[in-house]
Amino acid sequence: VQLQASGGGLVQTGGSLRLSCEASGHSFSGYVMGWFRQAPGKEHELVTAISWGGGSTFYLDSVKGRFTISRDNAKNMLYMQMNSLKPEDTAVYYCAADPRDIPTILRYGMNYWGKGTLVTVSS
């Protein structure tokens, strides 16, 4: 099982980045996929998640209106468009997947994680 995130980098406050995640080695049919992040000295948090069909999504309050999650199931790809970035968005971002529904994931987390990609927002 591999979840490979990419697209991180250094950006100024107010800038944008688009993270991508390629899933391979496992069938993620029906899975919820999402993005976690972990800032220095803080615990990881679920930033956003999307159901298999895209009809159900979750966004952390602090990113609502700025971040948009999407997925292309035919290509086994997950994306997150991040706009109006703030220094507090600086973190390592991880792509993740889980067969359970979003309410369950919010309570128990996700089972499959990939390696992270670092996003640094300078002030």
C-alpha span between 1 and 64 (Å, rounded): 30
Does residue 103 carry a pLDDT above 80?
yes
Q: What would the pLDDT profile of 36-72 be if each residue is shown by its tens digit? A: 999 999 999 999 999 999 999 999 999 999 999 999 9
Tell me, what's the pLDDT at 25?
Answer: 83
pLDDT at 29: 87
Q: Per-residue pLDDT for 111 more than 80? A: yes
- When pLDDT is cut at 50, 70 and 90, the band that residue 26 belongs to is confident
Q: CB-based burial of residue 42 (10 Å sphere; 0-12 exposed, 13-18 middle, 19+ buried)?
A: exposed
Is the separation of the CB atoms in 35 and 23 below 8 Å?
no
pLDDT in tens, 1-10: 799 999 999 9
Query: What would the two tokens of residue 47 be?
Result: 């930033």
